Amino acid sequence: MNRLGRAVNRRHGIRQVLAWWVLVGGLAGCMLASTPTTPTVALPTLAPTPLPESYQLSGAEDVARRFLDAWDAFDYATMHSLISFTARDTTPLADFIALYEDVQAELTLEGLTFTPVTLMREQPSVVAMVYHATFDTVILDNIEDTDRTMRLVVDPIDLNWRVAWSVADIFQELGAGKALQLDYTVPRRANIYDRNGELLADMNGRMVVLNLVKGRIPLYADCLATLALALDQPTERVLATLDRFGADWLAEVGLLEPPAYLQYETALVTYCGATFDSRAVRQYTNGALMPNILGTVGYPSQAELDGLRRLGFPADAIIGRTGIEASWDSTLRGVPGGRLSIVQGENIVRVVAEHPPIPSHSVWLTIDTGLQAEAQRLITEVYAANANTWAPQSKGAAAVVMEVKTGAILAMVSHPTYDATAFLPFPPMGRRAANALVEATQRDPRTPQLNRPLQGTYTAGSVMKLSSSLAVVDSGVFSADQPYVCVGSWYREDDFVRVDWKPDGHGLVNVQTALAQSCNPFFYEVGYQMDLRDPFLLPNYFKRLGLGRLSGITDLPEEAGLIADATYVRNNYGQNWSFSRSVNMAIGQDIAITPFQIGRVTALIANGGEVYQPQLVLKTSLIGEAPTYEMTPILLEHLDIANEAFEVVRRGMCDSTTQRYGTAEAQYRHHRLQSIGVCGKTGTAQAPGEDALPHAWFTAYAPAVDPEVAVVVMVENAGEGSAVAAPITRDILDYWYFGRFE
């Protein structure tokens, strides 16, 4: 784009404003600077009359310092009060402030410092101060401008020193048709990759930039009608756009989607005299694969504009709005650089300062694209296979795979998914088609934009028994081998009765076998006995394990959920705590937790109590260079829970998939995963709503010895965890350990 085109995009058209000040408003000041005489009394040439004491050099220096101090403080009213009355007449306060505000914005100025060098009297009432100035800017860093000259005159109106101001007091080369110009260099937004270097997001999409000169439009009415069609805008909006530009400016009128360009190119050239450029835009390799993780980009909000402009970004900059695009936005977008020049016409008179941009850095996720796609495919196929049973009433599902020794997230699926490309500023399918997709996504009662692993809160059912087992053994309320006879029902005072999912019970069990068989009466007793010890005991253990609490993930928003206790119930419901709440909590009812929290509990069971901060970014780097950031495991806490408790829970989980009485054994029987061992826990959680099917859960870790990954799958209102969630988990693990290599 030529100089005029660039000027259009800068705030208030500063080059035109400055040029105008040189030719008109600053004329008197320039005359003072170039012909330093007092305006009303001719100075004698032979024997000058001595000036009063108040006209000494110290007075001039004081005014100069006050002027520059006020500039540093952006106190433009004070600056204006210190210039000569002639300059004030030709440069009213409002215009003076507007000019300096434009300079402040153009330079991204944050302040200035100055050092006086010399002060000399050129004539009895004219003093020149030479000084060095350092302009502290956002884009150009520190601009060192040495040997600047400020002239001061004794003003004949108030007989005090005043600054003989002109635009040359901004930069001394200004004047005689010269203007200040700052050209930005905005880095290209960087790419996003998965852990293996597979491309997820880049800037290889293209849009067509439509340019024209308003004063050279061959057929104005036909041009206006064609622009409205090509840009898909009302005629009034097109007119408003054109009205912003001067008749001779090369103006960027809008961006054309490629189909519109192909359709209207000939007409735009014929009727408008249009020319075209291309602009790189964001695109996603597969917008439906992980929109809950990648997020999307968009334009700045009104509240963000000033801050971004000060960093050198234009008003139409593309920034991260959600997901990784937002949380790592500063890395992905880089920092603009710039060149500040004094220009005359098309010629550069002086380059005042230049600062290169800080390149944007690409981001590598911890996500494995193959695993993410496989987990998403498995869940989608299960819904399709159950289209005539539970699927119509199930709004969604979640799956998470994480490393148990690092906190790195390998996959995080939220079902149903949606196409993030429709939310891009320049969607490849075209704006109209994208708008239809966006509207359908936002109106979908299944809430596809809800990131279910981190933001969906649910009752957990029997997967909560993992936490209950840790709590009861570590607290000493039960020993690891505590015997219990399960007869299929459980009751206490006041005819308080609970039944098991297996009517005739499980016989003699302990913690290990009760877990493997998911014996409800055993865990009713756990909740009851812990409540007798202390009503806060069980809920406090759950919170220690990270349930009902934020996980510490920094890249995506999450919900904490809720583990209520006696204080919460009293403060929010005005009720006293009842042992029935502990009984229900012990089997995963009367709580609200996220699938991600269950996955973390599984991971800390597998690793013996180490709680790692969940992480989604593996590294950042310039392509082909050493990483500027590399993920390292962040150990948030080592839980002070007895190793005996972890061991008995792990044995129970392994029995669940290997022993004939295990609730998931049928799904793993004779499977090749038995060669490495999978240890898990089923869950069938009562869900709110009349006749609602329970939520199906399964969580597991593998291998059984020296575990590496933890997996959790939750399918809303799908029935038994052993029948729905357990096989999905099995197939996810099968892909991870065997399928990738086939």
Confidence check: pLDDT of 646 > 80: yes
pLDDT recorded at residue 52 = 57
Separation of CA 54 from chain center:
60
Q: What is the pLDDT of residue 39?
A: 39
Inform me whether the pLDDT recorded for 25 exceeds 80: no
- Residues 145 and 353: their CA atoms lie apart, in Å, by 9
Tens of pLDDT along 204-240? 888 888 989 888 899 999 999 999 999 988 999 898 8
Backbone conformation region of residue 544, classed left if phi is above 0, alpha if psi is from -120 to 50, else beta:
alpha
> Among all chains, which residue has been given the structure tokens 């199906």?
696
Judged against a pLDDT cut of 60, whether residue 572 lies above it is answered with: yes
For the ranges 45-49, 52-56, 135-139, the one whose mean pLDDT is highest: 135-139
Q: What is the mean pLDDT of the chain?
A: 89
Q: What is the mean pLDDT of residues 11-35?
A: 36
pLDDT bucket at 106, cuts 50 / 70 / 90: confident
**Per residue in 666-722, pLDDT tens?**
999 999 999 999 999 999 999 988 889 999 999 999 999 999 999 999 999 999 999
Q: Which pLDDT value is given to residue 51?
A: 52
The token pair at 536 is 């806060």
pLDDT value, residue 151 = 96
Calpha distance 91→93 (Å, rounded)? 7
> Binning pLDDT at 50, 70 and 90, where does residue 23 land?
very low
pLDDT reported for residue 409: 98
- Using the predicted structure, report yes or no on whether residue 6 has a pLDDT greater than 50: no
Give the chain's largest Cα–Cα span: 125
Asked whether residue 133 carries a pLDDT value surpassing 70, the answer given is yes
Per-residue model confidence (pLDDT) at position 377: 98
Average the pLDDT over 296-315 and give the result. 85
Q: If you average pLDDT over residues 545-560, what whole number do you get?
A: 97
What pLDDT shows up at residue 54? 55
Q: Write down the domain spans for the chain.
A: 3-185, 192-339, 454-741
Percent of the chain clearing pLDDT 70 (strictly above): 93
Task: Work out the percent of the chain whose per-residue pLDDT is above 90.
Answer: 70
| 422 contacts 429 by C-beta, under 8 angstroms | yes
Residues 594-635: pLDDT tens digits?
A: 999 999 999 999 999 999 999 999 999 998 899 999 999 999
Q: Which fold has domain 192-339?
A: Penicillin-binding protein 2a (Domain 2) (3.90.1310)
> Is the confidence at residue 5, as pLDDT, over 60?
no
3-state SS, 151-195, equals EEEECCCCCCEEECCCHHHCCCCCCCCCEEEEEEECCCCCCEECC
Examine the pLDDT at 291 and tell me if it is beyond 70.
yes
For the whole model, what pTM was predicted?
0.81
User: Distance between CA 617 and CA 329 in Å, rounded?
Assistant: 13
Q: What's the mean pLDDT in 165-174? A: 88
Average of per-residue pLDDT across 160-185: 85
What's the CA gap between 739 and 158, in Å, rounded? 90
pLDDT tier at 3 (50, 70, 90 boundaries)?
A: very low
Average pLDDT over residues 59-78: 96
Residue 329 and residue 350 in contact, taking contact as beta carbons nearer than 8 Å: no
Distance CA 717, CA 696 (A): 7
C-alpha distances (whole Å) from 293 to each of 29, 159, 473, 654 are 59, 69, 37, 32
Residue 383 pLDDT more than 50? yes
Inform me whether the pLDDT recorded for 49 exceeds 50.
no
CB neighbour burial string for 342-362, b if at least 16 within 10 angstroms, e if fewer: bbeeeeeeeebbebebeebbb
Query: Residue 34 pLDDT > 90, yes or no?
Result: no
Question: CATH fold of 3-185, please?
Answer: Nuclear Transport Factor 2; Chain: A, (3.10.450)
- Residues 454-460 have a mean pLDDT of 98
CATH topology for 454-741? Answer: Beta-lactamase (3.40.710)
pLDDT at position 11, please? 36
Per-residue pLDDT reduced to its tens digit, 337-370: 888 888 887 788 889 888 889 999 999 999 999 9
Please tell me the predicted confidence (pLDDT) of residue 568. 96
- Write the single-letter amino acid at 113: T
Between residues 200 and 98, the one the model is more confident about: 200
CB 67 within 8 A of CB 116: no
Cα-based angle 272, 317, 553 (whole degrees, multiple of 5): 150
Is the pLDDT assigned to residue 189 strictly greater than 50? yes
Residue 55 banded pLDDT, cuts 50, 70, 90: confident
Average pLDDT over residues 144-173: 92
Cβ(676)–Cβ(702) under 8 Å? yes
**Nearest CA-CA partner of 96 in 106, 82, 110:** 82
What does the pLDDT read at residue 18? 39
Mean pLDDT, residues 411-437 taken together: 92
pLDDT at 501 over 80: yes
pLDDT for res 140 = 85
If you ran DSSP here, which 8-state letter would residue 328 be given? T
Question: What's the mean pLDDT in 155-173?
Answer: 90
